[in-house]
Amino acid sequence: MLVETSAQSSDAPSATRRHPHDDAPDTAADFARLAALPEGPERDAVREALTEAWLPMAHRIAGRFRNRGESLEDLRQVAALGLVKAIDRYEPGRGAFESYAVPTITGEIKRHFRDRTWALRVPRRVQELRNKVRVARRELLQTSGGAEPSAAEIAALAGLTEQEVAVGTEALDSYSTLSLDAEVSREDDGYSLADTLGVREEAYDVVVDREAAKEGLRRLPERERAILYMRFFEDMTQSRIADQLGISQMHVSRLISRCCAKVRAEALDAAHGTGED
């Protein structure tokens, strides 16, 4: 047995007498001794023995939160951490240890759910609304024989507005997420969630560029506009354009380069001016 009586060993925690809970040992004398001991091996031994004595209670509290998406073993680890914090912070003479430890351990588990198990990060207030909505909905389902309660009924029971119920209900879907490979259709030609997501459309960039260049193109002389139209819209070679206009191919090349640079510069200046406004 981990906790021996004082008669058996003066260095070990005192005898284990049971409170109404079977997993709540009587360790008041041990806590008084722990508070009086300086840091060192003896104090560590008493602290460890107290932890082992109260660990069944921590496991019982963890069991209340089973089937909520976390393994029982992980919950017990969190509860044990809360127990150690309770032992370290408990002050003998200010009430029974169990009265202090239970809310401390429960709070540690709730913080674990709040901080670690949400698939999407949401504000604490929204998490609290979600919990109130979940509890109220569960109670109403039990009393109504399974009929889905309305937002007004949930709001009345939980003491919330219907808008707050809507926020809490939406947060229910933030607790867990679907894989992108999840099947959306049950038909033979079923598709996954990823198949419904949009992809980047490169043509949008072309539309934006064309709109940005329009004003600069309008301000070009008619001959330059004609040259750009023949080159980029009718896909004519520079030599063919030169023959049609009666100028040299070299001159066509210089005009195209100069016009493109001018239109590009005006488009960039316009975009820069818009960003500053």
> Cα dist. 144→4, 27, 94, 149, 208 in Å?
52, 46, 44, 8, 57
Is 39 in the same domain as 112? yes
Task: Report percent pLDDT > 90 for the chain.
Answer: 29
pLDDT band at 134 (very low <50, low <70, confident <90, very high): confident
Is 98 in the same domain as 123? no
253 inside domain: yes
Is 225 in the same domain as 241? yes
Structural domain count, the chain: 3
Helix segments in the chain, DSSP class H? 28-36, 41-63, 72-89, 97-116, 124-143, 151-158, 162-172, 202-218, 222-232, 238-245, 249-276
Q: Can you give the residue range of the structural domain that contains 137? A: 118-177
Q: Given this model, what pLDDT does residue 126 score?
A: 76
Is 34 in the same domain as 110? yes
Q: Given this model, what pLDDT does residue 10 score?
A: 40
Is 51 in the same domain as 84? yes
216 by DSSP, 3-state: which?
helix
Is 240 in the same domain as 213? yes
Domain boundary among 116, 132, 166: 116
Q: Residue range 155-173: average pLDDT? A: 85
Q: Given this model, what pLDDT does residue 169 score?
A: 83
Q: Given this model, what pLDDT does residue 59 score?
A: 94
Is 104 in the same domain as 51? yes
Is 227 in the same domain as 173? no
- Each residue of 18-74: pLDDT tens digit? 445 677 888 889 898 898 989 999 999 999 999 999 999 999 999 988 877 678 898
Q: Could you tell me the CATH number of the domain that includes residue 52?
A: 1.10.1740.10
Q: Residue range 245-251: average pLDDT? A: 91
